[in-house]
Amino acid sequence: MRPIAPPPGGDGSGTLPADWLASWIAVTGARRVVAVQPGADGSALTVAARRRQANLRVVDGLDDLDTPGDRVGAEAPDGPAAGAVDPAPGPAAASAPSSPGAHLPPRRGGRRFDLLFLGAGVRASDLPRGVATLVADAGTLAGAPGLMVAPLPLGHGAGAARPALAMADAGPDAAVLAALDAVRAASERERPLAPIAPAVGVLLYVLARTRRARRVLDLGTSGGAAALWLGSAVARSGGHVTAIERDAQRALMARKGLRRAGLADRVSVEIGEVARLAPRLAGSYDLVFMDEDPEDRADDLTALLPRCAAGAVVISHGAGADPGRLAGVNALLRSLPRVTATLGVAVGDGLTLAVV
């Protein structure tokens, strides 16, 4: 199970909205964007970069990235998380500027960009490793090996744009994939565990990788599918995931799967209610995935906001499957004064993303 095929759909001829592009620049934490033949999306991308105070450079092809520091033959080690702060930040951290992107540390390895955009006519044959790549037309990824691809559908029909977020990355190893298969099999055989869809897992993995997440929260982990995806991603940056599940049997199943996947040292599973455990959490978190009961999420979000680092991404899952029960928390995500960008993604059971 390695979901790397581009999604089916339209012919990719639709253009991408500037608001949507600006939100993805914010969600990925990019400050330096390189666009390869943006074509009809060029104007919207220029507006989006300006809104997010990101530097934009336009090039004619992927070969133009072959300047010193642009492309890495062997992937550089991940640096500190995008938006992460030390558990006990000093005065310099407390007084850091609050402009978009100001919280982001410099990349290691000399890379001159942190988000790549491929126009609809560019074939993705040799992407830089470990760099988030926003693709205008997912069809251009067909046949490209070694990619993690998360579809980002925008409507339906032959003329709808069908972008994707991709990364040249081997993805979770065989042990993690086997553990994910075991969670799905257990859900079908024994009891509903509602594991996240593979497309959601890929998106979580790519976001955690591109933001170099080091401290992640997984709320309502159930059988541990999201924890496996996130744990696999943070293992590359030396990070850690705290997963919370109030059902003891599911939590024990999640722990078993993490041990089987070799991720027990990267993911800890706590049993209990999020609101009760929140005061015991130490330090700040740079990515939060919310998949617990909808009725609890608004209170949980309020309790956890003080634990979110500046520029952290909060992801609420299930907006499409149960919009009525999740309307309150999703409205809260969009209305919080500290939220700088929000975005809906129609994958899996639906996601609402917010940069806080």
- Give the pLDDT confidence of 154-191 residue by residue, as tens digits: 866 666 678 999 999 999 999 999 999 999 998 887 66
Q: Are strands 55-59 and 267-271 parallel, antiparallel or unpaired?
A: unpaired
Task: Please state the domain extents for the chain.
Answer: 18-76+111-168, 174-355
pLDDT in tens, 131-156: 999 999 998 888 788 999 999 988 66
Separation between Cα atoms, residue 255 and residue 158, nearest integer Å? 44
Output the pLDDT for position 106. Answer: 35
Domain 18-76+111-168 identical in fold to domain 174-355: yes
18-76+111-168, CATH topology level: Rossmann fold (3.40.50)
CATH architecture of 174-355: 3-Layer(aba) Sandwich (3.40)
pLDDT for res 74: 32
Residue range 54-67: mean pLDDT, rounded: 85
